[in-house]
Amino acid sequence: MKLHQQVAAEVEKAFSATGLAEHPIVLQPAKNRDFGDYQINGVMGAAKKNRQNPRELAQKVAEALQENHLIATAEVAGPGFINLRLRPEKLVQYIESALQDDHLGITRSSEPQTIVIDYSSPNLAKEMHVGHLRSSIIGDSLNRVLSFLGHKVIAQNHVGDWGTQFGMLVAYLTEQQQNGRADLELADLEQFYRNAKVRFDEDENFANTAREYVVKLQSGDSSVLTLWQQFVQTSLQHAQAVYQKLGLKLLPSDVTGESFYNDQLQPTVNELLAKGIAVDSDGTKVVFLEEFKNQDNEPAPFIIQKKDGGFLYASTDLACLRYRINTLHANRLLYVVDARQSLHFNELFTVARKAGWLPENVHAEHVPFGTMMGKDGKPFKTRSGDTVKLMDLLNEAVTRASALVASKNPDLSPAEIAHIGQVVGIGAVKYADLSKNRTSDYIFDWDSMLSFEGNTAPYLQYAYTRVQSVFRKAGTWDKNTSINLNEPLEQQLAVELLRFEDVLDSVADSTYPHYLAAYLYQIATLFSRFYEACPILKADDATRNSRLQLTSLTGKTLQQGLILLGIDTLETM
Ligand code: ARG
């Protein structure tokens, strides 16, 4: 149910009837729900442009909304707002059809797109650390929302599995195999990288071997490739363990790493040269971009091949973009990558448009996000200043949540505590991220994310268990009784529940998951007010069954909404 769209259609008709067809209606959910369900703010702007009295004009629009099939009342307020109250009988009809549908009345797109989402995408020459958390969580949520709306989503994990570091890593792996210590070394990847780096810096022979391996790797030497594969596989298994712990939808089959594009790099560069888009500047192949000038008014250089023939991050991304459009047939490309790479993506898309690889009807979007900060306001680190391993962070989340659950509820069995601790701990980490506007940096703070009050995962998960407990106590009830929205809080909850699709649409368009988080928080808060003001189980039969239906849609909406954020729910906690 696109409630907003339906109301907007009626308001637009009223605007036309009043001679305001060209003016934006500016419709939004009412700021204060005691005065209405929606408010129209557009009349003031229209009045100003037409030099009319805003209140008089608003009165005319309100009159045009009389006897409307969807809108019960339209009242002018303040300098020329109009407060709208929707017809309860209409809302009831919509609620009933949402309840009967396992997709909660949410329509699947009539024009499904093929959307490629690039997310997580760690460099495999390092163990996954907190820097990869945001991309993984945000990308996964967008994947879920867009899939739910009926689009074909192709997740792409663009892992960094190619480049000079891999020569060093493979050289070190060979050395350790000769010592019979390879398995042992690979068991701790972080240490492995560090040891390899030490060897590289201290031993000239080792460094030379490493450089030779880079060349062999690039020329496709099979024995070096086998070693490289072994290393990449181990590294990917480690990443997959993190994904599993996080409950991400990412699968090993979503990995299409940088190495995949290797044989496309030279042709890509050649094509840009042939088209006259790239030039040879002293041996380096560059696209000069007039669109991106530096302080001295010189065009920005987008380097696609180095003097020595080596390729770069940019070359791979060009080949990759072509693959996503030509082979995966994407209509929309999302890159969930740190905000610090904004310029890279701007330039990438510009070059691709120039080359004709990115047609007008394909949208390419960088979905940037800020840095995860510690409580001290500096990028999140361990006490000793090291980067925090993602697995350690997630384990700590579960441990902390389990301790919290055990202290609140000492009667639970250890197995129950472990399960609830997992769901709450991981949910808290994800929600802390997804509930904030992704473009800002955010402070990672255990205490606030694990709090049962405020806009947190535990609060929402707890709200869901409250709903479930109502049904446990209710036993069997009649799901076919008609719904009544006699109390203001019942109507408010109903209106809010029917906004779900509008909210999901806005997440899909804007790629801001925090709109969904804010919505779920609003639902949980409204439900709790409703629950306190309107007795459910103690009411007379008709009222009880009506309220149980509202409660039921609340539970389904909370659960579905949390699933779309990648967060699990519990029956009790
Ligand atoms: N591996 C890169 C990094 O860790 C992110 C890759 C993002 N995706 C892309 N197509 N460039 O910074």
CATH code at 348?
3.40.50.620
Beta strands in 209-283 (DSSP E): 279-281
In this structure, the residue with its CA closest to atom 8 of ligand 1 is 158
Distance 438 CA to ligand 1 centre (A): 17
Q: What is the pLDDT of residue 506?
A: 97
Q: Is the alpha carbon torsion for 220, 223, 228, 233 positive or negative?
A: positive
Q: What is the pLDDT of residue 387?
A: 82
Considering the domain architecture, whether residues 247 and 354 belong to the same structural domain is answered as no
Separation between Cα atoms, residue 441 and residue 394, nearest integer Å: 20
User: For 227-249, how does the pLDDT look when each residue is reduced to its tens digit (9 = 90+)?
Assistant: 999 999 999 999 999 999 999 99
Domain of 57, in residue numbers: 3-86
Q: What is the pLDDT of residue 524?
A: 98
Q: Give the alpha-carbon dihedral of 547, 550, 552, 556, to 10 degrees.
A: -160
Q: What is the pLDDT of residue 50?
A: 94
Question: H/E element holding 84?
Answer: strand 81-86
3-state secondary structure of 333: strand
Q: Examine residue 36 and state whether it is found in any structural domain, yes or no.
A: yes
Q: Examine residue 441 and state whether it is found in any structural domain, yes or no.
A: yes
Distance 396 CA to ligand 1 centre (A): 27
Q: CA-based angle 24:29:32, to the nearest 5?
A: 125
Q: What is the pLDDT of residue 180?
A: 87
Q: What is the pLDDT of residue 383?
A: 80
Q: Examine residue 64 and state whether it is found in any structural domain, yes or no.
A: yes
Q: What is the pLDDT of residue 197?
A: 93
Q: What is the pLDDT of residue 67?
A: 94
Considering the domain architecture, whether residues 242 and 197 belong to the same structural domain is answered as yes
Q: What is the pLDDT of residue 130?
A: 83
Is any ligand 1 atom within 6 A of the Cβ of residue 139?
no
**Lowest-pLDDT choice from 82-91, 367-376, 381-390, 491-500:** 381-390
Rounded mean pLDDT, 475-490: 94
- Other C-beta atoms closer than 10 Å to the C-beta of 279 total 13
Q: Examine residue 107 and state whether it is found in any structural domain, yes or no.
A: no
In this structure, the residue with its CA closest to atom 5 of ligand 1 is 121
Is any ligand 1 atom within 6 A of the Cβ of residue 118?
yes
Q: Is the alpha carbon torsion for 541, 96, 91, 69 positive or negative?
A: negative
Q: Examine residue 483 and state whether it is found in any structural domain, yes or no.
A: yes
Q: What is the pLDDT of residue 125?
A: 81
Rounded mean pLDDT, 446-473: 96
Q: Which of 341, 343, 348 to mutate to test the pocket of ligand 1 (most atoms within 8 A of CB)?
A: 341
**Lowest-pLDDT choice from 127-131, 177-181, 194-198:** 127-131
Considering the domain architecture, whether residues 26 and 142 belong to the same structural domain is answered as no
Rounded mean pLDDT, 65-91: 97
Q: Which two tokens stand for residue 312?
A: 């770069």
Rounded mean pLDDT, 109-137: 92
Is any ligand 1 atom within 6 A of the Cβ of residue 337?
yes
Q: What is the pLDDT of residue 384?
A: 82
Distance 141 CA to ligand 1 centre (A): 18
Q: Examine residue 278 and state whether it is found in any structural domain, yes or no.
A: yes
DSSP designation for 341: G
Which of 12, 67, 3, 1 shows the shortest CA–CA distance to 38? 3
Q: What is the pLDDT of residue 314?
A: 97
- CATH number (domain holding residue 18): 3.30.1360.70
User: For 501-529, how does the pLDDT look when each residue is reduced to its tens digit (9 = 90+)?
Assistant: 999 999 999 999 999 999 999 999 999 99
Which amino acid makes up residue 66? Q
Q: What is the pLDDT of residue 352?
A: 98
Backbone angles phi, psi at 20, to 5 degrees: -115, 25
Rounded mean pLDDT, 157-184: 91
pLDDT band for position 388 (cuts 50, 70, 90): confident
Q: Which two tokens stand for residue 281?
A: 């500047």
**Lowest-pLDDT choice from 55-69, 299-313, 381-395:** 381-395
In this structure, the residue with its CA closest to atom 11 of ligand 1 is 317
Considering the domain architecture, whether residues 329 and 207 belong to the same structural domain is answered as no
Q: Are the beta carbons of 123 and 494 closer than 8 angstroms?
A: no
Considering the domain architecture, whether residues 427 and 508 belong to the same structural domain is answered as yes
Question: H/E element holding 269?
Answer: helix 265-274
Considering the domain architecture, whether residues 442 and 560 belong to the same structural domain is answered as yes
Average pLDDT value for the chain: 95
Pairing of strands 114-118, 152-156: parallel
3-state secondary structure of 156: strand
Longest dimension (CA), the chain: 89
Q: Which of 39, 67, 86 is the last residue of a domain?
A: 86
What is the atom index within ligand 1 of the atom nearest the CA of 123? 1
What is the atom index within ligand 1 of the atom nearest the CA of 344? 11
Considering the domain architecture, whether residues 124 and 195 belong to the same structural domain is answered as no
Total domains in the chain come to: 4
Residue 46 has pLDDT above 90, yes or no: yes
Distance 348 CA to ligand 1 centre (A): 13
- Other C-beta atoms closer than 10 Å to the C-beta of 32 total 9
Considering the domain architecture, whether residues 335 and 290 belong to the same structural domain is answered as yes
Q: Examine residue 341 and state whether it is found in any structural domain, yes or no.
A: yes
Q: Examine residue 467 and state whether it is found in any structural domain, yes or no.
A: yes
- Other C-beta atoms closer than 10 Å to the C-beta of 98 total 21
Q: What is the pLDDT of residue 184?
A: 79
Q: Which of 194, 226, 251 is the last residue of a domain?
A: 251
Considering the domain architecture, whether residues 155 and 200 belong to the same structural domain is answered as no
Considering the domain architecture, whether residues 147 and 295 belong to the same structural domain is answered as yes
User: For 530-550, how does the pLDDT look when each residue is reduced to its tens digit (9 = 90+)?
Assistant: 999 999 999 999 999 999 999
Q: What is the pLDDT of residue 547?
A: 98
Residue 556 has pLDDT above 90, yes or no: yes
Considering the domain architecture, whether residues 298 and 320 belong to the same structural domain is answered as yes
What is the atom index within ligand 1 of the atom nearest the CA of 345? 11
Rounded mean pLDDT, 337-347: 96
Q: What is the pLDDT of residue 2?
A: 92
Residue 51 has pLDDT above 80, yes or no: yes
Considering the domain architecture, whether residues 8 and 60 belong to the same structural domain is answered as yes
Provide, rounded to the nearest whole percent, the portion of the chain with pLDDT above 70: 100
Q: Which of 343, 366, 389 is the last residue of a domain?
A: 366
Distance 29 CA to ligand 1 centre (A): 38
Distance 239 CA to ligand 1 centre (A): 15
